[in-house]
């Protein structure tokens, strides 16, 4: 059980920590020192690498989380905090899926074609959705920590 909790925690750290770094540290720095075309190229490279890790984190979170729920006897036998975490996690996965397929893929194509206006508009959508997912991720961490005290 400890190994699966560790896998779960590491996946959360990679995903939520990566969003925090990108949103709070990298974005303001990139805006400060790079012109829009270079900034868009940077984000394309960052997203390509980060999203590969997010796909792995999503797989690890689902596998470890569902396995841990199963160890406790299923959803009927886990605390409300687990229900909340699972619900928020599924919403986050849906948002990430939308970001990846509906925003990032066309963003990347626009960057490669140097369609800066279109790429910039898509980056704005991605930024807003990552902000939502970051807030949901931080909320989920709070629910997890506080929920362990409730159980």
Report residue 11's pLDDT band, with 50, 70 and 90 as the boundaries.
very high
Which pLDDT value is given to residue 149?
75
pLDDT tops 80 at residue 47: yes
| 5-28 average pLDDT score | 98
Place of tokens 């159980």: 151
pLDDT tens sequence across 75-129: 999 999 999 999 999 999 999 999 999 999 999 999 999 999 999 999 999 999 9
Q: Report how far residue 33's alpha carbon sits from residue 24's, in angstroms, rounded to the nearest whole number.
A: 15
pLDDT tops 90 at residue 20: yes
Which pLDDT value is given to residue 151?
56
Which pLDDT value is given to residue 66?
98
């Amino acid at each position: 059980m400890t190994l699966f909790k560790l896998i779960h925690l590491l996946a959360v750290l990679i995903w939520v920590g990566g969003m925090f770094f990108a949103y709070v540290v990298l974005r303001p720095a990139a805006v400060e020192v790079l012109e829009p075309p270079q900034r868009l190229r940077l984000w394309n490279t960052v997203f390509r690498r980060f999203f590969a890790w997010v796909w792995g984190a999503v797989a690890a979170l689902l596998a470890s989380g569902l396995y841990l729920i199963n160890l406790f006897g299923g959803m009927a036998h886990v605390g409300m905090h687990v229900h909340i975490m699972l619900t928020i996690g599924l919403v986050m996965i849906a948002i990430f899926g939308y970001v990846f397929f509906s925003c990032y893929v066309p963003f990347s194509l626009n960057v490669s074609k140097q369609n800066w206006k279109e790429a910039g508009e898509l980056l704005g959508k991605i930024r807003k959705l990552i902000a939502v997912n970051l807030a949901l991720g931080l909320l989920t961490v709070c629910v997890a920590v506080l929920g362990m005290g409730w159980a």
